[in-house]
Amino acid sequence: MNIQIITHPLVRHKLSLMREADCSTGKFRTLTKELSRLMAYEATRDFEIEPHEIDGWDGSKIQGERIKGKTLTIVPILRAGLGMLDGVLDLIPTAKISVVGLQRDEETLQPVPYFEKLVDNMDLRPALIIDPMLATGGSMVATIDMLKQKGCRNIKALVLVAAPEGVKLVNEAHPDVTIYTAALDSHLNENGYIIPGLGDAGDKIFGTKHA
């Protein structure tokens, strides 16, 4: 399985706070941002570095380093993925942002696309998809399909919680895409919600009520 579970103690502690039934919208939003920042640090660990000559403070040339290649694009999946955006941008403030809108149909659990605005040169950029929840995996597979249609080849997925069903679907459809998650949970319930999970992440981040 192409999955990396981030087990840093801060990540585990914060995720557990998010699982509490009475976690308020404000607290959930703050924890989403904090977790995203910590997890982005781990998910970018294998970025390639290249030498880069710079002017040093005393006028001499110094052999510096920089991240190789074209700037990363972060891909939040609307809506809930927006909750992770600021945390990732804290670490990579120069990142380009490509937004994808998908709404899971509550009956069929199939993703319904409603928005797509990708940055240029997708074929040259690494992409980091962000969404708190990987449930059936339908939304993630649809997003990866969109990115690959634009030529994107270097794709990672960053989620707070993953279900085994979603990991299987993504791994089968796109074995080249590594999934980074804070937890691989037990299973999906009959409504397609992750157990134990976090509940409806979009509703918690935006303060909307789930019918």
Which segments are annotated as binding site for uracil? 194, 199-201
Element (H, E) at 62: strand 61-67
For helices 138-149 and 164-173, the axis angle rounded to 10 degrees is 20
111 binds, among ligand PRP, Mg ion, ligand URA, none (CB under 5 to 8 A by kind): ligand PRP
Which is nearer to ligand URA, 95 or 198 (by Cβ)? Answer: 198
Q: In the structure encoding, which two tokens stand for residue 135, read together?
A: 């449930």
Which is nearer to ligand PRP, 27 or 79 (by Cβ)? Answer: 79
Residue with tokens 């804290």: 90
109 binds, among ligand URA, ligand PRP, Mg ion, none (CB under 5 to 8 A by kind): ligand PRP
Which is nearer to ligand URA, 122 or 163 (by Cβ)? Answer: 163
Residue 197 interacting with Mg ion (CB under 5 A): no
**Closest residue to ligand PRP, Cβ-based?**
202
Element (H, E) at 28: helix 25-43
* Amino acid residing at 146: M
d(CA 85, CA 29): 11
Question: What single-letter DSSP state applies at residue 4?
Answer: E
Residue 31 interacting with ligand URA (CB under 6 A): no
Q: Which residues bind ligand PRP (CB under 6 A)?
A: 77-80, 102-104, 109, 111, 131-140, 166, 192, 201-202
